[in-house]
């Protein structure tokens, strides 16, 4: 080998060393808002796995009672960029002020363009910041209460949803004569001012998503995820996604993904950033429960679970395989492909889980490959019979991760991320996170939340979506006591933790969001 070639190789190796992650790479993270699922849970999981995640001061982030500060968030990014390896950024936060503000804002298009240009400039210059960006297609919920949509949605939301579903079918020439008559009647029934406000904001948000996709095509972002929050097979969200998809032709899966979900995308892109920094490419095998499996179209989603799983895997920087793998993602789907609410009486009635599926899970946790369980048979909570069955013989706490909250995409993404992080976390931290997920996703969402509604909130005539400080404290204490009892009865306490360390918060002053944590004794 000649001297010139040797020198060249040494320079290349030196450059690679400079590009390789140091012991404590610093990643900037701007979440959708300050909810635990957006902020504290993913940050705690990644910190336990050795990744330094820096977040903005909380007053800059959206909360239940506060719109986020887009310009303040962009200023924070600009200030922190020189010392960071990369940034994971919610476009909804830096453009509109958060996920809820993206549905309620009154920003001008010119101001939104200035904010987007400011974000994109971070990817330019002599020292560009590597950006992982995610945005959402504005959701089309069937109903909405608690101030998370424009005020008129509580009255007209059901009609707007149905109107948009019929309009979507009409755009594909799929309407029957009866449906056409219904569409005409609804269009006349919904006030013109309501439709105008809702549609104008949607159109503006769609144009901003077009600009984000253009920035991706221009090389501004290392990766971009377009989430579809609370959608349906026929809906305005699905219609907008089809239009946006025309702009993604030719974009490689190594730079772009779209799937139904929103709250979990920050987790997924943090994992991708970590994988990129560490030059790691995990192989993941996906196994579905018997029955409909991957062909299931879950509630609040518009494509099959198989499509969602693949999208989450690719966005996270993982490779789906059918053979030997570094990791197994077990997806608990319903036999018939129908995913009712976790509060449905079906989920409280005694049921037998398929014995072959239980046997598979019990065998899998005894093997060398870590296993994460995405429990998506029900929406907005875990499968009661499944969790109790796994807890009864200790299988539950032998899993690498569990997810069963909110939508199928939320559960898939968070279970995948926590499972892939588990091997790099101290055992006690991993066990605390796993137990907390069981007790929030199943214990609180499926069992305790409904009991609190029936026995306390409704019994006392309280408004569960607008709790007073005293009501919130009462419910937090009652939820914690009930979860302690559930944890003890089902052997879901992590090693080294006493049940009285379990704490519950209702950070958005309503029962839907909860923060369940095991707090170490000081």
Q: Which residues pair with 287 in a beta bridge?
A: 330
- Six token digits for residue 188: 């006349």
Examine the domain organization and report whether 302 and 274 are in the same domain: no
Note whether residue 146 is domain-resident: no
pLDDT tier at 7 (50, 70, 90 boundaries)? very low
- Separation between Cα atoms, residue 230 and residue 233, nearest integer Å: 11
Cα 131 versus chain centre, distance: 19
Examine the domain organization and report whether 311 and 373 are in the same domain: yes
Boundary of a domain, candidates 278, 304, 321: 278
CB 209 within 8 A of CB 120: no
pLDDT digits (tens, 9 = 90+) for 307-359: 999 999 999 999 999 999 999 999 999 999 999 999 999 999 999 999 999 99
CATH number, domain with residue 313? 3.40.50
Examine the domain organization and report whether 254 and 355 are in the same domain: no
Question: Mapping DSSP to helix (H, G, I), strand (E, B) and coil, where does residue 1 land?
Answer: coil
| Rama region for 221: left / alpha / beta (φ>0; ψ in -120 to 50; rest) | beta
- Residue 34 CB partners (closer than 8 Å, separation 6+): 58, 61, 62, 63, 507
Examine the domain organization and report whether 133 and 65 are in the same domain: yes
pLDDT tier at 125 (50, 70, 90 boundaries)? confident
Domain carrying residue 473: 455-522
Q: Which residues pair with 135 in a beta bridge?
A: 226
pLDDT tier at 500 (50, 70, 90 boundaries)? low
Backbone angles phi, psi at 334, to 5 degrees: -75, 150
Judged on CB neighbours under 10 Å (0-12, 13-18, 19+), 505 is middle
CB 364 within 8 A of CB 445: no
Examine the domain organization and report whether 294 and 247 are in the same domain: no
pLDDT tier at 296 (50, 70, 90 boundaries)? very high
Rounded to a whole number, what is the largest CA-CA distance in the chain?
85
- Separation between Cα atoms, residue 173 and residue 194, nearest integer Å: 26
Note whether residue 387 is domain-resident: yes
| Domain count for the chain | 3
- pTM listed for this prediction: 0.93
Backbone angles phi, psi at 503, to 5 degrees: -125, 150
- Separation between Cα atoms, residue 420 and residue 371, nearest integer Å: 9
pLDDT digits (tens, 9 = 90+) for 137-182: 999 999 998 889 999 999 999 999 999 999 999 999 999 999 999 9
Mean pLDDT of 20-49: 87
Examine the domain organization and report whether 70 and 119 are in the same domain: yes
- Separation between Cα atoms, residue 492 and residue 447, nearest integer Å: 15
Examine the domain organization and report whether 375 and 477 are in the same domain: no
Examine the domain organization and report whether 363 and 460 are in the same domain: no
Over the Cα atoms of the chain, what is R_g? 23
pLDDT digits (tens, 9 = 90+) for 59-99: 999 999 999 999 999 999 999 999 999 999 999 999 999 99
CB 375 within 8 A of CB 403: yes
Exposure of 450 in the CB half-sphere (CA atoms within 13 A): 17
Residue 24, pLDDT score: 56
Examine the domain organization and report whether 324 and 232 are in the same domain: no
Examine the domain organization and report whether 235 and 374 are in the same domain: no
Q: At which residue do the structure tokens 């101290």 appear? A: 426
Judged on CB neighbours under 10 Å (0-12, 13-18, 19+), 193 is exposed
Residue 341 DSSP class: B
371: part of which helix (H) or strand (E)?
strand 371-375
Q: Which of 481, 494, 486 is nearest to 394 (CA)?
A: 494
- Separation between Cα atoms, residue 109 and residue 241, nearest integer Å: 20
């Amino acid at each position: 080998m000649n001297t010139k070639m040797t020198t060249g190789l040494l320079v290349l190796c030196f450059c690679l060393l400079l590009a390789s992650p140091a012991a404590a790479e610093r990643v900037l993270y701007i979440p959708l808002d300050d909810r635990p699922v957006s902020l504290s849970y993913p940050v705690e999981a990644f910190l336990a796995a050795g990744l330094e995640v820096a977040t903005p001061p909380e007053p800059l982030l959206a909360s239940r009672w506060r719109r986020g500060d887009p310009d303040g968030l962009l200023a924070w990014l600009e200030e922190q960029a020189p010392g960071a390896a990369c940034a994971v950024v919610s476009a909804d936060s830096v453009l509109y002020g958060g996920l809820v503000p993206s549905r309620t804002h009154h920003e001008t298009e010119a101001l939104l363009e200035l904010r987007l240009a400011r974000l994109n400039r971070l990817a330019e210059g002599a020292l560009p910041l590597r950006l992982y960006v995610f945005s959402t297609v504005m959701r089309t919920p069937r109903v909405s209460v608690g101030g998370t949509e424009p005020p008129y949605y509580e009255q007209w939301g059901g009609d707007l949803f149905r109107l948009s579903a019929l309009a979507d079918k009409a755009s594909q020439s799929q309407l029957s004569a009866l449906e056409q008559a219904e569409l005409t009647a609804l269009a006349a029934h919904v006030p013109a001012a309501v439709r105008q406000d809702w549609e104008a904001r949607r159109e503006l948000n769609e144009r901003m998503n077009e600009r984000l996709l253009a920035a991706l095509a221009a090389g501004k972002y290392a990766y971009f995820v377009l989430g579809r929050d609370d959608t349906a097979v026929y809906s305005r969200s699905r219609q907008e996604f089809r239009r946006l998809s025309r702009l993604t032709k030719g974009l490689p899966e190594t730079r772009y993904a779209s799937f139904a979900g929103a709250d979990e995308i920050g987790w997924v892109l943090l994992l991708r950033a970590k994988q990129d920094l560490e030059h790691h490419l995990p192989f993941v095998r996906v196994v579905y429960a018997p029955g409909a499996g991957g062909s299931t179209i879950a509630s609040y989603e518009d494509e099959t679970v198989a499509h969602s799983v693949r999208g989450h895997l690719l966005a996270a920087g993982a490779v789906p395989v059918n053979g030997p793998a570094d990791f197994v993602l077990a997806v608990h789907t319903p036999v018939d492909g129908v995913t009712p609410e976790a509060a449905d009486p079906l989920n409280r009635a005694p049921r037998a889980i398929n014995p072959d599926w239980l046997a598979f899970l019990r065998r899998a946790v005894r093997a060398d490959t870590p296993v994460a369980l995405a429990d998506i048979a029900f929406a907005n909570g875990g499968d009661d019979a499944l969790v109790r069955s796994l807890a009864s013989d200790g299988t539950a706490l032998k899993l690498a991760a569990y997810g069963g909250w909110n939508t199928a995409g939320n559960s898939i993404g968070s279970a995948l991320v926590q499972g892939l992080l588990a091997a790099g976390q101290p055992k006690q931290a991993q066990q605390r996170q796993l137990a907390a997920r069981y007790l929030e996703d199943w214990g609180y969402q499926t069992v305790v939340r409904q009991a609190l509604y029936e026995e306390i909130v409704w019994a006392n005539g309280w408004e569960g979506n607008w709790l007073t400080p005293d009501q919130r404290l009462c419910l937090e204490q009652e939820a914690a006591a009930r979860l302690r009892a559930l944890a003890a009865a089902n052997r879901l306490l992590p090693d080294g933790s006493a049940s009285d360390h379990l704490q519950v918060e209702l950070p958005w002053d309503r029962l839907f969001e909860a923060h369940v944590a095991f707090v170490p004794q000081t």
